[in-house]
Amino acid sequence: MRHYPVIEGRKIRIAVVGCGRIAKNHFVSIETYPEYFELIAVCENDKKALTLATDTYKVIGYLSLTDMLEKEQIDVISICTPSGIHPEQAEEIAKAGVHVISEKPMATRWSDGVRMVKACDNAGVRLFVVKQNRRNATLQLLKRAVEEKRFGRIYMVNLNVFWTRPQEYYDQAEWRGTWELDGGAFMNQASHYVDLIDWLIGPVDKIQAMMGTLERDIEVEDTGVLNIKWRSGAMGSMSVTMLSYPQNYEGSITILGEKGTVRVGGLAVNKIQDWQFSDKQDYDDEVKNASYETTLVYGFGHPLYYKNVIDVLRGEAEPETDGREGLKTLEVLIAAYLSARDGKTVSLPLEY
């Protein structure tokens, strides 16, 4: 088993590259743990966004990641740039001996995701892939029920992501809605729901997909459907669109099993709407308190995810979602895109 240097007796020196929309969740997470983190620097190639970040967080700013790595002593860097840039940046950061936190998706190509894992392995640094929805109270309860096999045999699973992203959203930056840097509704917006396919239910056997660009002026899909067969024999589907009217409508998962039925819905799997099992457990009483109101599809899991990063770097825990765990989601995504492109059923794993 690989051993990593432990950071103890001082704060973890962290930097952020990319100061756009999702970076705010990372800055809030860093500020949540002032006793553990010291924000050293930020990097952003948009001068306006860089100035805003440096003024807000009172740190030095860099237009170049290379310059930041050369001039600062950093323990870990959070990558919040367009998805297609993650592999190149992760490789550079790893070669500098710095740990990597990558936003989702970790990459837009399977080979690039594998390259990220290998680069961090070779450099002896950690690769964390952000999957903050796993930390939501609703999904923590659902994960526990699955692990305790309360469903018995799982028969059917359905996931829905019915959100809206207007054309103005994609027009905010040239990289949005492109194959190379962004990916479509599945790869980008619904990535955390694709993550639930393997994390909750288990390894996937086969995928059939259809996707289309029905309305938005973008390269990638704004709508699509998957049929899924797991190795366990369970079957299910996933429906995704960024065209719901007039606003974000639903992010949900329903599991139907031999001895249980659960639906976690709401805007972003934030409400347990059905919780029925043949047995009774003490934590069933927590169900009504686990649901929460939100207008944010991101949820509130980023600070909880960062606590695991802290514990891992201090040698007190193992990563909840490392690079290899991130590859599981990427593999399902790539299989879905291959199926939709070629009009055929794709079997997993992609490589043997």
How confident is the model over 204-238, as pLDDT tens digits? 999 999 999 999 999 999 999 999 999 999 999 99
Length of the chain: 352
Q: Which long-range contacts (CB under 8 A, 24 or more apart) does 68-74 make?
A: 68/15, 68/17, 68/41, 68/43, 69/93, 69/96, 69/98, 72/13, 72/15, 72/40, 72/41, 73/13, 73/40, 74/13, 74/14, 74/15, 74/40, 74/41, 74/98
Q: In what order do the strands lie in the sheet with 37-43?
A: 60-62, 37-43, 12-17, 76-79, 99-102, 127-129
Residues 352 and 346: their CA atoms lie apart, in Å, by 14
Which pair of structure tokens corresponds to residue 313? 């770097």
pLDDT over 60 (residue 297): no
* Angle, alpha carbons 156-158-159 (nearest 5°): 155
How confident is the model over 113-143, as pLDDT tens digits? 999 999 999 999 999 999 999 999 999 999 9
Burial of 245 (0-12, 13-18, 19+ CB in 10 A): exposed
Q: How confident is the model at residue 332 (pLDDT cuts 50, 70, 90)?
A: very high
* Angle, alpha carbons 27-32-37 (nearest 5°): 75
Residue with tokens 């995928």: 207
The pTM for the full model equals: 0.94
**Which residues partner with 212 through β-bridges?**
223
Determine the pLDDT at residue 351: 86
Peptide bond into 105 cis (omega under 30): yes
pLDDT over 60 (residue 241): yes
Q: How confident is the model at residue 295 (pLDDT cuts 50, 70, 90)?
A: low
